[in-house]
Amino acid sequence: MPAALRSLLPRRPRRMCVLVATAALLAVACLPAPSHGKVEWAVQQVQVLHRHGSRSATVHYNTTDICGATPCGELNLEGETMMRNVGKFLRGRYSTDEEVVETPFLSSPDYDLRVVTSRSTDVQHTLQSAQLFLAEMFPTADRLVPAIHTAPTSQDMMLYTFSQPWVSLYVTYAGAAQQARMNPVIDRYFPDWKVLRDLSVELWSEGHCSDYATRLSCVLTLFDIVTAKRSVGGLPSDFDDRYSDLHAIVAEWNRGIWRYDSSKAFCVQQGGRGQPFLQQVMTNIDDFVAGRNTHKVMHYSGLDISLAAVWGTLGDSSDNAMQPTYGQTFVLELVKSLSSGEYGVRVLRGWPGQTPETDFTFSWDSAWKLQCRRSDGTNYAAKGNLCPLEDFGRYVAWTAAKDPRGMCLLDAEASDVLNCPTPAAEQAVTVSLSESCLLYRAACPADACAPGYVLSASGHHCTCASDLCLAPRSCENNIDVPVTVHTVGISKVATIGISIATFCAGALLAVAVTLILMLLLRGARSARDLEPCGKYLTPSEPLREGM
């Protein structure tokens, strides 16, 4: 206390002032820092990708016994409940959960196109599931007219991931390669073929499972039936172990398709198969932070193959990641620290109960662990499945394709079933193209032809369009052209170009040697007639950039 003031006060009031001042100082010193309650990270934007709810099995035989009252492949009543529960759970999380939001993130129960945008695969039960989800996420019943965007399945590489060129070729045409990989796995779970046969009888599928050589197809179909029946309470209790076995087998089959393995050169070059979706996620985040996107909810409705591709790219190859349950949901929250202002990403996974006794209640998957990547190039498991935005973006970039062809890059297994004609054969005669060749050329027009050739606008044929392939027919007439070319570790189109260039160079060398001999022996021939075979060939020209 200042001396002048102290001298004006009597001793007793002076002591009282000192005590009051001291108490005030202590009170100020002991006050806690400004608190934001339980919430440290404020939700800014939510991106949701879910699988559809339960449906009847997708079979074309014994449909009455297998599918029951719900037509095969269609969403059933249990599936409707699943999707409503997913939407209801997330509505509560972003409106009333005090550990997530201090004030409601979704302040209005009304569906508003300025708040949410939706996209779905062009499949009936995913479109229905999208609407059911939105009906509970925005529960004002008298005003729900959702706008749900789609793309043709043949072009939807982001959600209908079977449309990705390598995946489509492998799943549709590489049956022998799939069986060679999966038959030992099936035999490990079902060493006695009779057990699988007996199971097929109980599931009205003995005809589909009559051939031991095609047991992979049998297992995939039985799993679909068992999963569908399980959701409606149509399975005996002793089927639980069989369900687990079938689930493990199908998850392993998917693992060979969707898992990103950074130790395999082909995976690194092609990139993770969930990249199209994750790149869209990053674009949505960038646009939101920059103010170009004001949607609070980015909503996607897809299939098990939509989610498996994403989980596999994010480093999770567990059974529940590789074969997602009905209604499984990927939730990505863009959050902002209330103390530092930095952005973070939280990724969660959950699903509704799968059997009637669970009431199809939604819950989080505690086993899921988000992987992120530090600036020093090391990956780590994020605490609470939340990491800085930069670390999440760095992980996504780490799994992106290193080869510019990306999804159009093929390995030996896919090349073996491509079945496209070589350039020489395609120029010499009119050839019909196989389904697999047409599929690849439609998906990858820029990579479908050898160097010097372009894809025709109609017919999807490769036609010569440069000096590189305009060598006279005398060089090609002697080539025994195979229908396809198979080379491991190099693209087919590059292989074709190398083969033609190598042959013509060899032929040119042989002609030159013959010419020299003839000149020495006869001295009367001119080299003028031999000029065309070497005139247009430029062997030093690179066949493909970066090869």
Query: Is residue 456 located within the same domain as residue 392?
Result: no
Residue 53 belongs to domain with CATH number: 3.40.50.1240
Query: Is residue 158 located within the same domain as residue 296?
Result: yes
Residue 409 placed within a domain: no
In angstroms, the CA 422 to CA 433 distance is 11
In angstroms, the CA 221 to CA 236 distance is 18
In angstroms, the CA 508 to CA 525 distance is 17
Residue 405 placed within a domain: no
% pLDDT > 70, the chain: 79
Encoded amino acid at 405, one letter: R
Work out the number of other CB atoms within 10 angstroms of the CB of residue 292: 10
Query: What residues make up the domain containing 99?
Result: 41-164+261-398
Span 94-120, average pLDDT: 96
At 87 the three-state DSSP class reads helix
pLDDT digits (tens, 9 = 90+) for 218-231: 999 999 999 999 99
Query: Is residue 268 located within the same domain as residue 283?
Result: yes
- Residues in the chain, total: 547
In angstroms, the CA 159 to CA 406 distance is 17
pLDDT digits (tens, 9 = 90+) for 315-347: 999 999 999 999 999 999 999 999 999 999 999
Alpha carbon 174 to chain centroid, angstroms: 20
Query: Is residue 230 located within the same domain as residue 217?
Result: yes
Residue 80 placed within a domain: yes
Residue 286 placed within a domain: yes
Query: Is residue 2 located within the same domain as residue 48?
Result: no
Encoded amino acid at 280, one letter: Q
pLDDT band at 110 (very low <50, low <70, confident <90, very high): very high
In angstroms, the CA 176 to CA 239 distance is 30
Cα distance from N-terminal residue to C-terminal residue, the chain: 82
Residue 346 placed within a domain: yes
Span 424-452, average pLDDT: 90
Work out the number of other CB atoms within 10 angstroms of the CB of residue 394: 17
Q: Which of these three, 221, 240, 257, is where a domain ends?
A: 257
What the block records as the tokens of 87 is 């939407």
Residue 127 placed within a domain: yes
Bridge partners (DSSP) listed for residue 348: 331
Q: Which range, 57-66, 135-144, 229-238, 457-466, is most confident?
A: 57-66
Residue 169 placed within a domain: no
In angstroms, the CA 296 to CA 117 distance is 9
Bridge partners (DSSP) listed for residue 332: 47, 347
Check if the beta carbon of residue 515 is closer than 8 Å to that of residue 481: no
Q: Which of these three, 367, 398, 429, is where a domain ends?
A: 398
Bridge partners (DSSP) listed for residue 349: 330
Query: Is residue 185 located within the same domain as residue 241?
Result: yes
Q: What is the CA radius of gyration of the chain?
A: 32
Query: Is residue 188 located within the same domain as residue 317?
Result: no
Strand-pair category, 116-120 with 148-149: parallel
In angstroms, the CA 525 to CA 372 distance is 72
Q: Which of these three, 366, 398, 430, is where a domain ends?
A: 398
477 pLDDT more than 90: no
Query: Is residue 58 located within the same domain as residue 145?
Result: yes
Encoded amino acid at 362, one letter: F
Query: Is residue 335 located within the same domain as residue 438?
Result: no
Give Cβ neighbours of residue 376 (< 8 Å, ≥ 6 apart). none
Query: Is residue 422 located within the same domain as residue 470?
Result: yes
Query: Is residue 253 located within the same domain as residue 273?
Result: no
Query: Is residue 146 located within the same domain as residue 265?
Result: yes
87-101, 132-146, 211-225: least confident range: 132-146
409 pLDDT more than 80: yes
Bridge partners (DSSP) listed for residue 352: 362
Residue 478 placed within a domain: yes
57-61, 136-140, 474-478: least confident range: 474-478
Check if the beta carbon of residue 422 is closer than 8 Å to that of residue 482: yes
124 pLDDT more than 70: yes
pTM: 0.81
225-229, 360-364, 453-457: least confident range: 453-457
In the chain, the number of structural domains is 4
Encoded amino acid at 249, one letter: I
Q: Is residue 176 within a helix (H) or strand (E), and if so which, with residue range?
A: helix 175-189
In angstroms, the CA 159 to CA 156 distance is 6
473 pLDDT more than 80: no
At residue 330, φ and ψ (nearest 5 deg) are -95, 125
